[in-house]
Each structure stands twice: as structure tokens, then as C-alpha cells.
Structure 1
Amino acid sequence: MFAQHIMGLSGLLAAALFILGLKRMSSPATALIGIVLAGIGMVVAVAASFLTIFDLPETARPYLTTNLTLAAVALVIGGGWAWLRGRKVEMTAMPQMVALYNGMGGGAAAAVAAVELSARGAPGALILAVTVAGALIGSISLTGSIIAWAKLDGKIDKPWRFGGQRIVNGLVFAATVVLGIAVIVFFDGPLLPVLAVLFFLGALAFGIMMTLPIGGADMPVVISLYNAFTGLAVGLEGYALQNPALMIAGMVVGSAGTLLTVLMAKAMNRSLANVLFSNFGDAAAGGAGEVQGQMKAADASDAGIAMRYASSVIIIPGYGLAVAQAQQKLYEFVKLLQAAGVDVKFAIHPVAGRMPGHMNVLLAEAGVPYDIIYDMEDINADFANTDVALVIGANDVVNPAARTDKTSPIYGMPILNADQAHQVYVIKRGQGKGYSGVENLLFYEENCNMVYGDAQAVLTRMVQAVKDLGA
């Protein structure tokens, strides 16, 4: 009984740490301590679960001892692997890692549900329904996140679509729901094993089928969506197990993920229904009208010198900056401009990069101060009075077609107003289109010049050009 009280108190402590950690994560300045607090909460919750053995009768302890030993081994293996991979992962691979770990959370919730369903007994209709719902959502999150990981990692390089795909997906989902209901109805019957296996196979298959049609440009929304799914699955299984730490952690993650999904969908001019039920990434299917003008190349040194003598510069980072691993060199360039009296700011679009907050993490890694990093809604009005906008690797998030071309698939999407700056420089490796496959009208504007090359090499030349001015 004593152990139960300790476990209950530990669960409340863990839940408080989860909530406090999430609150601290709302600001880049306190995000690190927030992650640490949430991690401590998880350690407390996991450690408390091992106290179960002290409240069991002697006859049951050998079985639980075996299970706890297996759990300890799993913790060592999983924790060790995650520690090593987390320390070595490149910034460009961060979205893939997040997608994969998110899927593991959903898979863990589904595995807990599978154990509960195999235990038989008499859990009650409500608990049984909650367990099945968690199993469904967790399984979808597992396989969906794995497909998202494969897309982000380049192992699946394009959407997989066929005629009538939505109907087929709908039928698979409906059949899976029916099987879930059958598991509840026939829980004590001989058909339970077969029904449960078919139910899990259907849920896992639907996660794959739901994600395969999605285009790479929409992966930030997908990652956020599956994050919400995982949180919801964990919360449901926490209720089934009567575990307050799991319930609160799952609800916090689920609600935060859902809110982020809505915000990301809004940033891409999509309704939540469109995010959930349509083929993502259809932008490449359409296109803007005939492009007027031509791209004009500029030398990196000339662009660097122009920014050195500007009064104000706004920098828009994108995935190309992460690919080139040029964030440190970019901040070196920024410090040179600031030393010369230039007002430098960073503008972040909600869907820049390959996952929510990707660019914020990238800049934080380089040590860029938080007070010069602005969200889109806070800085968009400043572009009209800015001397130079520097775009590095970003594409669709600065495409004026979203404002002007009603035939464009991205029409209506909120963008950063880079084109309104007096001069725009775009660092880009070539003349290819963005991730969505839409031609960027900004590149053809009179006030825009292209600086071709890898961002690391281009920024190195810019830095040297500015340094040479003071030599």
C-alpha cells in the first residue's frame, strides 16, 4: 500500500513537471530548461513504476520481477541508442529523428493496448473502448510517422497515389473501426485473438495508406498531426491504466500538438479538414501562369558589401541553410554587419524547414540571440522599410504568387513579404523550384538578385568581402 501512495505522488510530481516544462518550452530563451524539467518528470514517472513489485503478494512477484527486468533492459538499450543518435544527428536529419521518435511513442501506446487486450478479465465497457481507441490512434501514428520519416529521409521520394485512393482509404478505416467495435463486443469470446490481430493490421495499414499520398512540402503539418495523435493515444492508455502521469502527459502533448497542427494548417492556408482528409502536396499538380522577367545573378562579394552599407537587413532562413550547415557562418556575417551599425533581424515563417520550429532550432544552435528572431506576423510590416532582404534556401514561404496568382496552388497562403524590401538577395544552389514544385515569382522581380552556390561557400565569400573593407 505504501508503494501505491508513493507511485501516486510520483505521478502528480511528474505531471507537474510535464506542465511546467511545456510552459517553459513556449519561449526559446527558456526552452532548454523546459526540456530538462519534462525529462526529469519522465524519469520520475518511469522510476516510480518499478515500485509496483513491493505491493504484490509473494506468489506474483517472480512474474513481475521478470517483466521489470525486461523493462530495465529495454530502458538501457533504448536510452543508450537515443543518447548516441541524439548527440550525432545532423540538423538536416532532425525532422526525420523527430518523426521516428514520435512514431515510437504511438507504437508504445499501441503495444500497451495490445497487452491490456490480451489480459482478458473484465475491464468494463468504458475502459475497453478507451483501450481500443488508443490502440487505433497509436497504431496509425506509428506507421504514419515511419512513412513520414522515410519521405523526409529521401527513402520515399514522391507521393504514391492511384485512382479512387480516398475511397479505398475510407473503406480500410471503416473496416478497422468495425473490427475495433467487434473486439469490444466479443471481448470474452473465442474470436477475440483473430479480431484483435485484424484490427491492429487494419490500423497499421491505414497509417501507411494515409501518409503515402502526402507530398514532401506538407511534412511539417504531418509531423505535427502525428505528434497530436501520439499524445492522444498515450492519454487514452493512461486512462485505461489509471495512470495520472500518462493521462496528463498525453493530454498535454495531444492538445499542444492539435493546436500546433491548426496553426500550421492556417500558415499554409488550409482548413483542418483539408489537412486530415485531402491529398497533401498537390501543389505540384498546378502552377502559376507564365512568368515575366528573368533571374539576375549577383556576385556573393557584391551582395555582402551591399548589406554592409545598408541601414537594415532582414534574413529569411530556409532548409537550404540547414543542408549547407551554414548557420555558424551566417551568424559570423550577422555580427560583422551589426558591428558596422546595420540593424539585422531574422524572419521565421511557421512552415520554414521540414518540421515546426526547425529554423528556430537551427539559429539557436548557432547562438543567434532570441531578441532578433521574429515570427512572420511580428515582422511582415517591416519589409517595406527594409533596405535588404536576404533569403537563404527558403522558397515557397516568400513566393508572391501566394498573394497575386489565383491559379497558383499556394494562392492565399500567408507569406513573408520579402519582395517588398528595397533589394532582395537569394542564396540558392540552382534555378530549381521549391519543395512544392511551384515557380517562385520573387526570383524574377526587378529588385531581386540570385546569388548561386552552396550557402556555406556563399556566406564565406560575403564574410571575407566585409572583412576586406576594414583591412
Structure 2
Amino acid sequence: MLSQGFVSAAAIAASVLFILSLGGLSNQEKAKRAVWYGIVGMAVAVLFTAFGPGIGNYWLMIPMIVIGSVIGWKVAKQVAMTEMPQLVAALHSFVGLAAVFVAWNADLERRRVLAVQAVEGATEQFSAFAALVATKAPDELTFLQLEVVFAIFIGAVTFTGSVIAFGKLAGKVDGKAKQLPGGHMLNAGAAVLSLLLAILYLNGAGFWTLLVLAALAFFIGYHLIMGIGGADMPVVVSMLNSYSGWAAAAIGFTLSNDLLIVTGALVGSSGAILSYIMCKAMNRNFISVILGGFGGAQAGAAAEIEGEQVAIDAAGVAATLNNADSVVIVPGYGMAVAQAQNAVSELVRKLRSAGKEVRFAIHPVAGRLPGHMNVLLAEARVPYDIVMEMDEINDDFPKTDVAIVIGSNDIVNPAAQDDPNSPIAGMPVLEVWKSRVVFVCKRGQGTGYSGIENPLFYKENTRMLYGDARESIDSLLSLID
């Protein structure tokens, strides 16, 4: 059994490693090292917490850790890069549900301690947490109850919200925004009832208040995320990440665990900041995201699209590329689905060997998870210095000979600028249509994940290269001089 001082020192070390991990993730070249900081930090946190003072029941804890680790390892090994967004959403749900269970248990322990203390001469042996509760003053117990309420509410919202986000990302739940009759008034009513239950609980009502509170929060999480369209899931996943962090921090206060407080606060604040940045990138209101009204309502019918999509074959694309001096590639989720990143990397190598300027344009919400495209390109060993963010490259499209769009839709949709009634009106997009020629690699003529038609595909300077993205790029490789 380790001393509390030793455990506290380990908690500080783990916290520093977590901070270094987050800081390193902002730079692609340092990201791998940053991930290892996080892994080591978590290993230190689990190990020293498990063997800290007041911890027991190792006969149950160790098998659970082993079983959970094996399941996590097997799931992570089997999940493709295209499935990472839904895996992240699923993991957020576990954090939320854990917060609910821990909070329920904390209140049951509080009630047991108060019941024992009410019996004169009682000598019952308390658990480590119950012993901590037994030393608290009345005002500290009230604060504990507030922590329990917060953890249950945020944890329950995170759980069901993450489950629905997982379903939408995995295609198991309809990606369209749907709400029950009454819309946001149902969410508001459930929130008001939750507040009333919290007041009743703080004034001595029974454990049933926490059960009903959790049920209402489960509904709010479900209904909030069901009311958000599938195209907005990257922002939703980021916001749910923030919620899971705050739920963990609340449980840290409940358990008097400094490491859990620090870790939860880091996750909560970084998730909120990332969500805010992504909202700005999509011209959305941050508060609207939290309230489940992401995107708002359309002002009217979207504009009709005239013209037709003009197809081209690989030979035609290759001929244009051979005569081009500058090329910009815009990757999207379709590239991830086709696992075309290595073929794209080889195409880039051949084009650069021929003396052409080749760069990538990355939209902040490309893919279905922040940084999704950057990870795929790094995996394919694309040089970091040619991977440009939207703000860095948007002004260069008018000077670009060829823009190649691979599996993207909304992030290159000119309707965001031209059609005020479009669901993505006002969203900053990559202005690829300003290039001399645009080639779009796409499986067919259907709409993208959001279900929105893209006028780009009908423009005079756009040509459609239909087919699987990897096969299409592979067919180009042998035709590039």
C-alpha cells in the first residue's frame, strides 16, 4: 500500500504528462510523442491510484482492469481509421455512464453514513469513501450533494447524447435532424423538472429524485443530439468530449481525487475550446450547439441547381495534370472510406517529382472528427509542410491550375456563400471553384453525408471522376509523366 504523499506526487506527474500531451497534439511533428505522454500519464494515474491508501477489493479490481484492457485493445485493433469518430463517441458514453453510477453510489454511501451516525454507539466499519464522508461538516455534505447532482445530470446527458452521435456516425441512426413534437420546449421542460428535482434532493428528498433526474437527463441527451443533423456531428462529438470531461471533474470533487479533477478539467476545457473554434469555422452559434439547435431553421427553399454533371475519365484527368504547374488536393471522408490516402501520397510524390507545386487544403471540419484528414495524411507519410489549413490556402485557388476534390462535399459547396437559404449558408468553405479546373473524385451522383446538393458539381470548370477513390487515383498513377 502506497502512502498518500507518494500517490499525490504521482498525480502531479501524471497531470504534467497530460498537459504535455495536449500541448504536443497541436503540432503534427510532435503528435506521436504527445500521444505517448498521454499513455504513460494514464498508466501512472491508474497504477498509483489503484495502490493508494484506502483502496481494496483487488480480487475484483484487477480482473476488471485486465478484462477492460483486453476488450479495449481488441476493439482498437479492429476499428478502421474511418470508424474512429464513432469509437470516440462510444468512449464518451462510457465516461458519462460511469459518472452517473459513481454519483449514485456516492449518495448511497452518504445516506448510509448518516444512518449509522444517527444510531448511538454504532461502530460499523466504513469504506474509504464513507470514512471521508463521515468527517465532513454539514455544509461540506451539501457541497457533496451538489457535486452528485451535477455529475448525474452531465453524465446522463453525455451518455445518451454520445450513443446517438455514435449511431449517426455509424449509419445506424438516421443522420437527419429529428425532434419529437414540441421540439426545444420538451428539452426546456425536462431541464426545469431536473432543477426542481435537484432542489427537492438538496432539501432531503429520497434517492428516487436522483433516479428521476438521471432519466430526465438521459432524455435531454437523446433529444438534443437527435435534433442535430449528421453533417454537424464533428462539432457534436467535440462538445460531448467536453461534457465527459466536466462529468469526470465533478466525480473528482465527489471522490476528493485531485487527478480526476485536473484531468476532467483539461478534457472539458479543451473540448469546449475546440468546439468553439469549429463553430467559428462553420459560422455557427456556440450556444446553439449546446442547446441542440445547431444550424437553426432554413429561411426558405434552397436554390435550384441548373446544368448537369460532366464526367471525365482517368486519361483526361492525367492529361490536365501533366500540363499543370500548381495542384491543390482537398481530401474528405470519402478518401478515408476508400482508404485512398496511400495512393494519394504516391500521386503527390510523382507530381512533385515532375516539378509541380502540390499542396493539400484541409477544412477544419473535414472528415467526421477534428484532425481526421491530418492523421490520415500523416499515416501516408505526406510531408507536413504541404498540408495547409483553409485560411492559409483559400486565397490561392484563383492562381491554382487544378483542384482535386477527393470525397468531400459540404466543405467545398459554393451554396454556403451563394444561397442564403442553404442549410450551410454562411459556413466558410474551401473555394475550389475559383481554380482553373476542378476534378471531383466521387462514387456517384448522390448527395453527401448532409444530404445537401452541391452546385460545384455542375459548374463549367468541374469534371466528375466517378468511382472508388483509391481505384481512381491508382488509375492516374500510370498516366502521370
Structural mapping, 1:159-198, within 5 Å: 159-186=177-204, 191-198=205-212
Deviation by residue 1:222-277 (Cα, 9 ceiling, x = unmatched)? 10110000111111221222222111111111111001111111111111122122
Indicate which of 92, 102, 106 corresponds to 1:102.
92
Indicate which of 228, 250, 256 corresponds to 1:214.
228
Aligned letter for 1:222? Answer: V
Indicate which of 157, 172, 179 corresponds to 1:155.
172
Deviation by residue 1:273-326 (Cα, 9 ceiling, x = unmatched)? 221224446789965312233221111222123223311110000111111111
Matched residues in 1 for 2:251 and 2:413: separation?
44
The answer for the alignment partner of 2:126 in structure 1 is none
Aligned letter for 2:68? Answer: G
Aligned-CA RMSD value:
1.9
Matched residues in 1 for 2:418 and 2:219: separation?
40
* Residues 433 and 440, structure 1, Cα contact 8 Å, conserved in 2: yes
113-122 or 349-358, which deviates more: 113-122
The answer for the alignment partner of 1:112 in structure 2 is 102
Residue 364 of structure 2 aligns to a residue whose secondary structure is coil
Aligned letter for 1:95? Answer: P
Aligned letter for 2:40? Answer: I
* Residues 217 and 281, structure 1, Cα contact 8 Å, conserved in 2: no
Deviation by residue 1:431-461 (Cα, 9 ceiling, x = unmatched)? 1122222221111211111111110111111
Aligned letter for 2:60? Answer: L
Matched residues in 2 for 1:287 and 1:377: separation?
30
Structural mapping, 1:437-456, within 5 Å: 437-456=451-470
* Residues 298 and 422, structure 2, Cα contact 8 Å, conserved in 1: no
Sequence identity percentage: 42
Q: Is 1:47 aligned with 2:47?
A: yes
Q: Is 1:82 aligned with 2:72?
A: yes
The answer for the alignment partner of 2:83 in structure 1 is 93
Matched residues in 1 for 2:380 and 2:334: separation?
15
* Residues 15 and 245, structure 1, Cα contact 8 Å, conserved in 2: yes
Aligned letter for 1:86? Answer: A
The answer for the alignment partner of 1:134 in structure 2 is 151
Indicate which of 56, 62, 74 corresponds to 1:65.
56
Matched residues in 2 for 1:283 and 1:459: separation?
39
Structural mapping, 1:393-404, within 5 Å: 393-404=407-418
Matched residues in 2 for 1:405 and 1:198: separation?
45
The verdict on how the C-alpha distance between 1:286 and 1:350 changes in structure 2, with shifts beyond 3 A counting, is farther
The answer for the alignment partner of 1:60 in structure 2 is none
Matched residues in 2 for 1:446 and 1:328: separation?
30
The answer for the alignment partner of 2:160 in structure 1 is 143
Unaligned 5+ segments in structure 2 are: 114-135
Aligned letter for 1:240? Answer: T
Deviation by residue 1:91-149 (Cα, 9 ceiling, x = unmatched)? 21111101101221222222222221111145522232123212211111111101110
Matched residues in 1 for 2:198 and 2:73: separation?
37
Q: CA deviation at 1:154?
A: 1.2
Deviation by residue 1:69-110 (Cα, 9 ceiling, x = unmatched)? 322222111111111111221121111101101221222222
The verdict on how the C-alpha distance between 1:293 and 1:2 changes in structure 2, with shifts beyond 3 A counting, is closer
Structural mapping, 1:281-320, within 5 Å: 288-320=302-334
* Residues 296 and 444, structure 1, Cα contact 8 Å, conserved in 2: yes
Aligned letter for 1:177? Answer: L
270-279 or 79-88, which deviates more: 270-279
* Residues 244 and 268, structure 2, Cα contact 8 Å, conserved in 1: yes
Count of aligned positions: 453
Aligned letter for 2:104? Answer: A
Q: CA deviation at 1:422?
A: 1.0
Structural mapping, 1:240-279, within 5 Å: 240-279=254-293
Matched residues in 2 for 1:270 and 1:464: separation?
43
The verdict on how the C-alpha distance between 1:80 and 1:118 changes in structure 2, with shifts beyond 3 A counting, is same
Aligned letter for 2:179? Answer: R
Residue 73 of structure 2 aligns to a residue whose secondary structure is helix
* Residues 297 and 449, structure 1, Cα contact 8 Å, conserved in 2: yes
Matched residues in 2 for 1:264 and 1:352: separation?
11
Aligned letter for 1:239? Answer: F
* Residues 319 and 393, structure 1, Cα contact 8 Å, conserved in 2: yes
Structural mapping, 1:348-427, within 5 Å: 348-427=362-441
Indicate which of 431, 439, 443 corresponds to 2:445.
431
* Residues 295 and 449, structure 1, Cα contact 8 Å, conserved in 2: yes
* Residues 216 and 281, structure 1, Cα contact 8 Å, conserved in 2: no
